[in-house]
Amino acid sequence: MKGVTVWWIALVVLLASAGWCGAGEPIALGDEVRLEPIEEGVWLVVHQFAGGNNSLLVRCDEQRFVWVDTPCTDEATRLVHEWLERTFADPNVVEINTGFHNDNLGGNGYLLSRGVLCYGSDVTPRLIAECWTETVRKVLPYFEGEANKKYRDILIRQKLVAPNRLYPLTEGLVLKVGPETVEVHFPGPSHTVDNVVVYFRGRRLLFGGCMVKALASRTPGFTGDADMVAWPASVRKVLARYPDACIVVPGHGRWGGLSLLRHTIGLLEEYNRLHP
Ligand SMILES: [Zn+2]
């Protein structure tokens, strides 16, 4: 009997590690885009554009999806949107941009051409118009070397498209999508002056975006548009507002729990001590 018990335990462990008890295997869409299931109906969309860039797809009911941020380009966004249309009957998607950089909204052009509503703050279109060209100039040194040439070329040529459904940044936004309540919140300036977080209340799922660093991050990353003094205080406000969040998704790198917020605060405060 003991042997049988051991085999049962081994089988359960095997199935769990194979993802049978979780949300499933990653789905590759071409060489640069993959979907990583986080839980039932939630996919992390990772676009390799030099480094990995996260957006988040959440199924709120049979047909309705909320997509927070987009891959960096229209082409990568098309791959994910086509997967949605192949996989689900008549999917209805709304997009929420969490900032004005291309890793937040580089796919808006494609989504708008497909009739997807793109929500963004009223500050975001102005920042695209007034700051994006300068941001590209500042960010290009992060894309050094021959391997990154294609990304540099895209960055230089890319015309960003603003969201078409605007809300006042400081007021935020609440969307009811099926049974899910989706809250868009601005805690103050951070990695950019328009970065917001998005909280799925029913799922206790927080998309922190570029404001939140992965546990593996040892530096704040690109700080060319950041408010370094306000940033840690803004993340503290997010931590205080969503103490029940179970899943926290950063803009780049691996998702986790509330420890990502504490890690981000610590990392930024340390950085500010060393760079007063
Ligand atoms: Zn980013």
Question: Cβ neighbours of residue 46 under 8 Å, at least 6 residues apart?
Answer: 33, 34, 35, 36, 52, 53, 54
Question: Cβ neighbours of residue 213 under 8 Å, at least 6 residues apart?
Answer: 220, 221, 250, 252, 253, 260, 263, 264, 267
pLDDT in tens, 4-62: 555 665 555 455 444 444 568 999 999 999 999 999 999 999 999 989 999 999 999 99
pLDDT in tens, 226-247: 999 999 999 999 999 999 999 9
How does DSSP assign 240-252, residue by residue? HH-TT-SEEEESS
How does DSSP assign 72-137, residue by residue? SSHHHHHHHHHHHHHHSSS-EEEEE--SSSHHHHTTHHHHHHTT-EEEEETTHHHHHHHHHHHHHH
Cα–Cα distance between 225 and 223 in angstroms, integer?
A: 6
pLDDT in tens, 36-49: 999 999 999 999 99
* Residue 229 to residues 48, 194, 265, Cα–Cα distance (Å): 30, 15, 11
Residue 149 C-alpha from the chain's centroid: 24
Specify the pLDDT at position 6.
Answer: 57
Specify the pLDDT at position 276.
Answer: 87
Tokens read off for 102: 């291309």
Distance 116 CA to ligand 1 centre (A): 22
pLDDT in tens, 187-239: 999 999 999 999 999 999 999 999 999 999 999 999 999 999 999 999 999 99
Question: Looking at this protein, which amino acid is placed at residue 12?
Answer: V
Question: Does position 2 have pLDDT exceeding 60, yes or no?
Answer: no
- Tell me, yes or no, if the pTM score tops 0.85: yes
Distance 47 CA to ligand 1 centre (A): 11
Question: Does position 142 have pLDDT exceeding 70, yes or no?
Answer: yes
Distance 50 CA to ligand 1 centre (A): 12
Over residues 240-262, the mean pLDDT reads: 98
Distance 252 CA to ligand 1 centre (A): 6
Distance 100 CA to ligand 1 centre (A): 10
Cα–Cα distance between 82 and 71 in angstroms, integer?
A: 14
* Nearest one of 127, 152, 126 to 137, comparing CA atoms: 152
Specify the pLDDT at position 52.
Answer: 96
Cα–Cα distance between 199 and 24 in angstroms, integer?
A: 23
How is the chain split among helix, strand and coil, in percent rounded to 5?
35, 25, 40
Specify the pLDDT at position 19.
Answer: 40
Domains and CATH numbers, the chain: 23-274 (3.60.15.10)
Cα–Cα distance between 67 and 117 in angstroms, integer?
A: 10
Distance 90 CA to ligand 1 centre (A): 30
Give the 3-state secondary structure of residue 1. Answer: coil
Distance 255 CA to ligand 1 centre (A): 14
Distance 236 CA to ligand 1 centre (A): 19
Cα–Cα distance between 58 and 93 in angstroms, integer?
A: 9
Question: Does position 1 have pLDDT exceeding 80, yes or no?
Answer: no
Specify the pLDDT at position 9.
Answer: 54
Q: Which residues pair with 23 in a beta bridge?
A: none
pLDDT in tens, 150-175: 999 999 999 999 999 999 999 999 99
Give the rounded percent of residues in the chain with a pLDDT score beyond 70.
92
Give the rounded percent of residues in the chain with a pLDDT score beyond 90.
89
Question: Does position 176 have pLDDT exceeding 60, yes or no?
Answer: yes
